[in-house]
Amino acid sequence: MIPRYSRPEMVSIWEPANKFKIWYEIEAHACDGQAKLGVIPEEAAKAVWDNGNKPYTDERIARIDEIERETKHDVIAFLTELSEHIGDYSRFVHQGMTSSDVLDTCLNVQLTQAADLLLSDMDKLLTALEKRAEEHKYTVTIGRSHGIHAEPVTFGLKLAKHFAEFKRGRDRLAAARAEIATCAISGAVGTFANIDPSVETHVAEKLGLAVEPVSTQVIPRDRHAMFFAVLGVIASSIENLSVEIRHLQRTELREAEEFFSKGQKGSSAMPHKRNPVLTENLTGLARLVRSAVVPAMENVALWHERDISHSSVERMIGPDATVTLDFALARLTSVVENLVVYGENMQKNLDQLGGLHNSQRVLLQLTQHGVSREDAYRLVQKNAMESWQTGKSFQDLLKQDEEVSAKLSDETIDSLFDMEYHTKHVDTIFKRVFEK
Amino acid sequence: MIPRYSRPEMVSIWEPANKFKIWYEIEAHACDGQAKLGVIPEEAAKAVWDNGNKPYTDERIARIDEIERETKHDVIAFLTELSEHIGDYSRFVHQGMTSSDVLDTCLNVQLTQAADLLLSDMDKLLTALEKRAEEHKYTVTIGRSHGIHAEPVTFGLKLAKHFAEFKRGRDRLAAARAEIATCAISGAVGTFANIDPSVETHVAEKLGLAVEPVSTQVIPRDRHAMFFAVLGVIASSIENLSVEIRHLQRTELREAEEFFSKGQKGSSAMPHKRNPVLTENLTGLARLVRSAVVPAMENVALWHERDISHSSVERMIGPDATVTLDFALARLTSVVENLVVYGENMQKNLDQLGGLHNSQRVLLQLTQHGVSREDAYRLVQKNAMESWQTGKSFQDLLKQDEEVSAKLSDETIDSLFDMEYHTKHVDTIFKRVFEK
Amino acid sequence: MIPRYSRPEMVSIWEPANKFKIWYEIEAHACDGQAKLGVIPEEAAKAVWDNGNKPYTDERIARIDEIERETKHDVIAFLTELSEHIGDYSRFVHQGMTSSDVLDTCLNVQLTQAADLLLSDMDKLLTALEKRAEEHKYTVTIGRSHGIHAEPVTFGLKLAKHFAEFKRGRDRLAAARAEIATCAISGAVGTFANIDPSVETHVAEKLGLAVEPVSTQVIPRDRHAMFFAVLGVIASSIENLSVEIRHLQRTELREAEEFFSKGQKGSSAMPHKRNPVLTENLTGLARLVRSAVVPAMENVALWHERDISHSSVERMIGPDATVTLDFALARLTSVVENLVVYGENMQKNLDQLGGLHNSQRVLLQLTQHGVSREDAYRLVQKNAMESWQTGKSFQDLLKQDEEVSAKLSDETIDSLFDMEYHTKHVDTIFKRVFEK
Amino acid sequence: MIPRYSRPEMVSIWEPANKFKIWYEIEAHACDGQAKLGVIPEEAAKAVWDNGNKPYTDERIARIDEIERETKHDVIAFLTELSEHIGDYSRFVHQGMTSSDVLDTCLNVQLTQAADLLLSDMDKLLTALEKRAEEHKYTVTIGRSHGIHAEPVTFGLKLAKHFAEFKRGRDRLAAARAEIATCAISGAVGTFANIDPSVETHVAEKLGLAVEPVSTQVIPRDRHAMFFAVLGVIASSIENLSVEIRHLQRTELREAEEFFSKGQKGSSAMPHKRNPVLTENLTGLARLVRSAVVPAMENVALWHERDISHSSVERMIGPDATVTLDFALARLTSVVENLVVYGENMQKNLDQLGGLHNSQRVLLQLTQHGVSREDAYRLVQKNAMESWQTGKSFQDLLKQDEEVSAKLSDETIDSLFDMEYHTKHVDTIFKRVFEK
């Protein structure tokens, strides 16, 4: 997580002010839960809200840091600072709880907040993709397998594919968000020995979380592993679309281009040198988000009721992966929204092979006119090869070939070079993708 | 995937006979679909079923291999061999389709079959975990954080935790199975130019798959990435339980032991030398399953409508990850079912610290009797330290401490060392875990 | 490791016959070492050689497997079978040794053999790269940054770069081979309690290995982690060159092409459809080799003097990574040797931008004729932009620009479009790369 | 890279002030090189040094940032700010160079500086390990395989093993440092079209770097991949030693403990609760350092002469991996230096099994007194089992066994329980490890 690849809203989720606010809310709600049970006085719980519910300003955070430098314990430092606001009642705060109750529930709240932001990012990306897909629903372009011209598709179809992929990513993220939205207030080893389960239920409800069915000291880390894995798959989809755009922007293709603002300097002396730097950057960012996946999985196997090896990992990948993915999704959305699409170049590139992309269609037609597969192959291959080597029109060559014309009339041949043949089911596909 | 870590049922999913059977079924159903449309004759479709629906014996497979050595194209080899059974009608087979329609749909069928087997594996593991958890619901043992004694838990609780974790893994796998169960019969670049979408719908229905909303030449690889990521998380949970067992089997703990059959040789001269080799092995297997995750994610970004870089990866990780995970789940199930649990050693280890694990409870009680948190700490610490250094009973020391006894009666102190205090909510947790 | 991506020589290193041969040699040399010390009779050591030094035929291997099924211990099974050849003296075999002495030393011998094969593979690749680089030392082609035309390079330079990269890979592999070529015969926990260090020294010498300075029960796994990391970097270099070739073979570039044999079927109806399937395949294989790196690193942290979690990992990644890399290097070598290079297309693509790639050179020249950087930029940019938009010759436009011609004569301008300017240091670079 | 896990010296390598200083030096030395050739005036080069060689204060950095916000190009912003100090001569700066010449050479300088710091960190760790190893050269402790007692080792031996492992890590890092210490000043696509190779040679020499034999626009990324892979292996060795310490600190073992300062709060009420939080933390940090390895390898395959996808990755993993590893090495050194070693507990744990760890030795002795391997096994096993089950002394049981005493005298048996037997070669191993 570095400023260059960060956006403030996601960054703020991981800042001390937000963290302490969540800690505070967990403790305050827990006090309410304890007061309901009569474990602590109602006035104590009230005092926590009345005197403690204040923003975590820089001053308060500095004070907490000061105490932590002495005690070397973050939750104790937090509680001590809080007690300076609440006074004597503070001895009822955190009762029966363990630090991890606060830390783990807080982390899950943060991840949930991060997920919500990412879901909103994805919605914007999906909107942009749908809009551009509709715009280019019938912008014909050559489909390429192995980087080699195959048969025509439309640029809208390409975007529809990425829409569908990000839509799946969104659904997975929503599921991962639900999985990570749990709360544990279960005490030192998760047995509720010192705190009643109803407190956990109360806090969970107030924070919009589910109760963690069985925690030890910690919330189990398979939930987090899944969460980061889902981010990793989304990042891979970002790479997927980025690589597509990078390809389309190559000098020889120039079918699409990242938007290049007027003032933007750079290779001003080489006007063709509009580099797809944003999507290249996104390709790299995808690698970074993905790099969180394995450590998150290595975090699952903690010793017995917990060891703290996961903590340093999460302090880094928590912010890093979410901030980077948030930035990347926003950047990609902007790239998609502003992508310059050169339909004429798409057509030009498509025409480059003189209609050879219809060869399979000719083949099929011959077969359906009674020619054996082997003979059909031979006929198509002969003419295709000549077109390829001489640059002559494949369509014309077919008409001139006696064996072919014995089976197919000129009209039939012409009909085989009709572009609508290739786009006739675009609407079907669009309905599948966008109408759900 | 090596025999040592393989089970036949999962292996057979990846064997040529099953693969060709699926290929055949895709082609045959597609012929039906084409026949319904009148694209090919009904008799052709019928001939495919009548003459082609035969097991792929070693002879047939050898014949396919022979043809592939010439043509260097697996689907053409398959079709050629098939034509030797079907005769002239074979020219209607595969019409309008591309190889990937067969290959990708087949892979998804295989992954779906693999997922079904893994789900059944997980059910067995869950059954075993639940059974042993109920058995040891109240077998008291010390909870450990950081490898250090904390407060008591029960062995059943430990297993309940792993049950809940594998249950989540099962749910994720079921979701991943649903995601991977798609069918694409959309032709060269996914436009249905040469084949009607209704054929795809027909084949999908017959194979129990969903239609892939938008394919290019291939089914998008984010689905596969997600699938392997889910396997990776399950593997990490296997590691988690394995590490727990390995710890419990250490000479100094000996709270549990992998079953050691009578005849089993090994360190016969060192009877204590019962090594947790199965769970150590599972720890390694977890690393292997996890190693498929990153390549699967790297497979997502294919060039344009497809490149074939994903193929070699999937030829390896497809069998490797599923076969290894199947083996690992079965091995772990057996370990759990047969685990020797030494309840008396659990009690002995728990007693080792003379009741110090109740220190927090004493602390809370003092606080509730009006002692300030600081003073309570001091009192507990003083006596705890003496108990720790001298080995004297913590309980006795507290009774002898005047400051303590001024606040807490001997009865109260005794009540703080009652084990039921720690287990009183075990049933609540069990209900949460097992009653859903 | 699957037959499709395997070559017999590397596969045989990992086969039982080779493994047992190495085990035998370790044991036999150890007997010699023990006999020298008088720990076992000379005749015993002699008997091991006289009666045991026979190939491990399928029959012998089957016999060992049979015994292992009973004893569930591979080394004991091996020793028992060996005793059937050696008779009574067999009780002197393996004395004071632990199974790991045999297993770990054997693994290192196998990795060393694998490394030797890989080094030889790399030598062949380097030879091919050098040959083709020399052949195309002055085959001019456009250099591309970000996929966009930049300035001219030569195809030979491209290959020289990959030569240098693989040369570094070779050096690293040679270093990794030296690191892995160690022998440990140090007994149960590495203390030589039951076997004299001189035995280890003897075996190491005979097998061409170094002595492991300090083993526990096992040879430390950081050596293996490093080994697989080096393979991962080489695989990444394979991906690097493969991606280059895949790009060059794109329909719009067609500057180079994988060799396509006459008989090779496939898209015969689409003659342009020569797909770079080999380099795409290599891109996938690179991901597979790389996937061994993290598990190998996770294997380093074994518990105390050893746990066996590394073993299953190595049983898979040992063969998988080396066999796959061997195959990939050989395939890449063949691709390089047979690569069809289209020099005329390179020139055509280079010419596509009408000399704009010399814009920076014009800029420099203007600066050196006293024009400020800002003015020079403006002048170059104006003419470059016109050339880019109208397709007019950049060279001509410059001559017609009064501000430019005030500073640069027509001859000077012409001289700025001389190709030798770009290739004048190719020889220098070749000397750096190939003369070392 | 977060403050909690950072040390200032390593952090400063990655701060703007150091980066710009290196950029400046590259440019200034390049001017000297150009002046020597007469490409630019000597006075220009002199002016760059005279007026530009000033620290990059916060003000200067702010100014550069300001310009970058306009131009969106970091090197242009840097050059513009520099020109404000140098004046008119600034037009000679950066002549014939490309931004990557500066950026890539700078990155390598930074990585070299980082490597030097890490090497120094490792030296300190090695010193600490050697010191503690010598101190505990003969502190006997039980060796454990699979977590189960095996035979005695010494605590010094354990540390010697880790010393040897980190020594190898140090050697690999020194090699990786040499590999990364290269300089490229080769212009837009690495052809030296616009700049003479002698400039590169001059700059390289002045900066203590080697010349990159063949660069494209960028320095090839296999060098960086190797660098981060080496960091990953070192991190794995940190995990290795950390896991050892965590095990030794477990309540039931308590053979060693991280130093716990008097004032340190935490579980003050549970004095036994000294948690190995530092080594647990190091276990997590190892995962983080390792997570840089795969992205660094994915960075190798750049498109053609370069794409910029590597850049965002390096902006993160460059600082993250080196800062984290620096912190981790320093923390581990401190842990080793201050580790509290409980020799008496080691002895106590060793004695726990009543001498059973000598069973193999008894077995060998019986064999050497003419007993067959099978009979020897049976005898040892019988007595070992009785000792294990009853807790009786293994040594006594052997003496009482008639079959045993028929072969071995009481003196012989006693001699088999002599601890020096196990430590007799410790000195040999120490010489191997520490005298090189």
Task: Return the residue in A15, A218, A312, A331 with the most chain D beta carbons within 10 A, the one to mutate for interface testing.
Answer: A312
- Determine the longest span between alpha carbons in chain A, in angstroms: 103
Is pLDDT of B273 > 60?
yes
> Quick one: angle between helices C309-338 and B277-290, nearest 10?
30
- Distance from the Cα of C63 to chain B's closest Cα (Å) equals 17
Which chain A residue has its CA at the smallest distance from C355's CA?
A270
User: What is the number of other CB atoms lying within 10 angstroms of the CB of residue B55?
Assistant: 9
Give, for A144, the enclosing helix (H) or strand (E): strand A140-145
Non-local (6+) Cβ contacts of C187 within 8 A are: C96, C97, C98, C101, C193, C194, C195, D151
Q: Give the model confidence (pLDDT) of C208-233 as tens digits.
A: 999 999 999 999 999 999 999 999 99
- Cβ distance of B281 and C308 shorter than 8 Å: yes
Task: Return the residue in D309, D317, D322, D331 with the most chain A beta carbons within 10 A, the one to mutate for interface testing.
Answer: D309
At residue D269, the pLDDT reads 59
Name the residue among C291, C315, C317 with its Cβ closest to that of B4: C315
Give the chains touching B; criterion: ≥3 Cβ pairs < 8 Å.
A, C, D
Highest mean pLDDT among A412-416, B86-90, B220-224: B220-224
* Higher per-residue confidence, D436 vs D117: D117
Q: What is the mean pLDDT of residues A310-316?
A: 97
Is pLDDT of B270 > 80?
no
In chain D, % of residues over pLDDT 90: 84
Q: Give the model confidence (pLDDT) of B304-340 as tens digits.
A: 999 999 999 999 999 999 999 999 999 999 999 999 9
Classify each residue of A180-189 as buried b or exposed e, where b means 16 or more C-beta atoms within 10 Å of its C-beta.
Answer: bbbbbbbbbb
Q: What is the mean pLDDT of residues A321-329?
A: 98
At residue D290, the pLDDT reads 98
Q: Give the model confidence (pLDDT) of C60-70 as tens digits.
A: 999 999 999 98
Which chain B residue has its CA at the smallest distance from D268's CA?
B381
Name the residue among A145, A172, A215 with its Cβ closest to that of B306: A145
- Cβ distance of A295 and D307 shorter than 8 Å: no
Q: What is the mean pLDDT of residues D346-351?
A: 95
Non-local (6+) Cβ contacts of A295 within 8 A are: A313, A317, D287, D288, D290, D291
- Cβ distance of D287 and A307 shorter than 8 Å: no
A264 touches chain D (CB under 8 A): yes
Identify the structural domains of chain A with CATH numbers, from first to last: 1-95 (1.10.275.10), 98-351+422-436 (1.20.200.10), 356-416 (1.10.40.30)
d(CA A412, CA A415): 5
Q: What does the block give as tokens for A319?
A: 């912010």
- Cβ distance of A222 and B213 shorter than 8 Å: no
Non-local (6+) Cβ contacts of A158 within 8 A are: A141, A244
Between chain A and chain D, how many beta carbons pairs sit less than 8 Å apart? 113
Which chain D residues contact residue B307 at CB under 8 A?
none
Task: Give the model's confidence band at B210: pLDDT under 50 very low, under 70 low, under 90 confident, else very high.
Answer: very high
At residue D390, the pLDDT reads 86
Name the residue among A277, A349, A363 with its Cβ closest to that of C146: A277
Name the residue among C2, C265, C311 with its Cβ closest to that of B72: C265
Residue spans of alpha helices (H) in A38-154: 42-52, 58-71, 74-86, 99-135
Closest CA to C151 of D98, A246, A281: D98
At residue C364, the pLDDT reads 82
B373 touches chain D (CB under 8 A): no
- Cβ distance of C268 and A381 shorter than 8 Å: yes
Which chain D residue has its CA at the smallest distance from C190's CA?
D153
The answer to whether the beta carbons of residues A318 and A108 sit under 8 Å apart is: no
Which chain B residues contact residue C317 at CB under 8 A?
288, 291
Angle, CA A164 vertex, CA A158 and CA A167 arms, to 5°: 140
User: What is the number of other CB atoms lying within 10 angstroms of the CB of residue A7?
Assistant: 16
d(CA A255, CA B362): 74
- Distance from the Cα of C186 to chain B's closest Cα (Å) equals 18
Q: What does the block give as tokens for B329?
A: 């789940």
C2 touches chain A (CB under 8 A): no
| Catalytic residue IDs of B | 146, 267
Q: What does the block give as tokens for A348?
A: 């030009």
Task: Return the residue in A280, A289, A324 with the most chain D beta carbons within 10 A, the one to mutate for interface testing.
Answer: A280
Is pLDDT of C361 > 70?
yes
Residue with tokens 């009904």: B42
Name the residue among D294, D298, D349 with its Cβ closest to that of B252: D349
Is pLDDT of B1 > 80?
no
- Distance from the Cα of B263 to chain A's closest Cα (Å) equals 31
At residue B387, the pLDDT reads 87
At residue C373, the pLDDT reads 79
The mean pLDDT of chain A is 94
- Determine the longest span between alpha carbons in chain B, in angstroms: 103
Q: Give the model confidence (pLDDT) of A283-292 as tens digits.
A: 999 999 999 9
The mean pLDDT of chain D is 94
- Distance from the Cα of C63 to chain D's closest Cα (Å) equals 20
Instruction: Classify burial at C263, counting beta carbons within 10 Å of its beta carbon; exposed 0-12, middle 13-18, buried 19 or more.
Output: exposed
* Higher per-residue confidence, C352 vs A286: A286
A175 touches chain B (CB under 8 A): yes
Is pLDDT of C352 > 90?
no
Non-local (6+) Cβ contacts of A28 within 8 A are: A45, A48, A49, A52, A53
Q: What does the block give as tokens for D311?
A: 């850049």
d(CA B308, CA C282): 10
- Cβ distance of A384 and C271 shorter than 8 Å: yes
Q: Give the model confidence (pLDDT) of A377-432 as tens digits.
A: 889 988 988 888 888 889 999 999 999 999 999 999 999 999 999 999 999 999 99
Q: Give the model confidence (pLDDT) of C371-425 as tens digits.
A: 987 888 889 988 988 888 888 889 999 999 999 999 999 999 999 999 999 999 9
Name the residue among A5, A72, A313 with its Cβ closest to that of D287: A313
Note if C202 is an active site residue: no
Task: Give the model's confidence band at C360: pLDDT under 50 very low, under 70 low, under 90 confident, else very high.
Answer: confident
Task: Return the residue in A264, A273, A366, A394 with the most chain C beta carbons within 10 A, the one to mutate for interface testing.
Answer: A273
Give the alpha-carbon dihedral of C153, C156, C158, C161, to 10 degrees.
-120
Highest mean pLDDT among A259-273, C59-73, D105-119: D105-119
Task: Give the model's confidence band at C109: pLDDT under 50 very low, under 70 low, under 90 confident, else very high.
Answer: very high
Task: Give the model's confidence band at D140: pLDDT under 50 very low, under 70 low, under 90 confident, else very high.
Answer: very high
Task: Give the model's confidence band at B436: pLDDT under 50 very low, under 70 low, under 90 confident, else very high.
Answer: low
Task: Give the model's confidence band at A260: pLDDT under 50 very low, under 70 low, under 90 confident, else very high.
Answer: confident
Q: What is the mean pLDDT of residues D82-102?
A: 94
Task: Give the model's confidence band at C269: pLDDT under 50 very low, under 70 low, under 90 confident, else very high.
Answer: low
A177 touches chain C (CB under 8 A): no
Which chain C residues contact residue A384 at CB under 8 A?
269-271
Amino acid at C334: S
Q: Give the model confidence (pLDDT) of B53-77 as tens digits.
A: 999 999 999 999 999 998 888 999 9
Q: Given CA atoms D93, D99, D101, D104 in this order, what sign does their dihedral have? A: positive
Q: What is the mean pLDDT of residues D45-66?
A: 97
Give 3-state DSSP helix, strand, coil % of chain D, rounded to 5.
70, 5, 25
Is pLDDT of D267 > 60?
no
Closest CA to A325 of A268, A379, A295, A287: A287
- Cβ distance of B372 and A229 shorter than 8 Å: no
The answer to whether the beta carbons of residues B21 and B56 sit under 8 Å apart is: yes
* Higher per-residue confidence, B18 vs C269: B18
Is pLDDT of C74 > 60?
yes
Which chain D residues contact residue A70 at CB under 8 A?
263
B269 touches chain D (CB under 8 A): yes
CA D407 centroid distance within chain: 53
Which chain B residues contact residue D150 at CB under 8 A?
270, 273
Task: Give the model's confidence band at A359: pLDDT under 50 very low, under 70 low, under 90 confident, else very high.
Answer: confident
Task: Return the residue in A145, A252, A297, A357 with the most chain C beta carbons within 10 A, the one to mutate for interface testing.
Answer: A252
At residue C273, the pLDDT reads 82
Non-local (6+) Cβ contacts of A255 within 8 A are: A141, A155, A248, A249, A341, A342, A345, A346, A349
d(CA D101, CA D196): 13
Name the residue among C197, C214, C361 with its Cβ closest to that of D194: C361
- Cβ distance of D265 and A73 shorter than 8 Å: yes
- Distance from the Cα of C240 to chain B's closest Cα (Å) equals 13
Which chain C residue has its CA at the smallest distance from B247's CA?
C303
At residue D388, the pLDDT reads 83
Which chain D residues contact residue A303 at CB under 8 A?
246
The whole-model pTM stands at 0.97
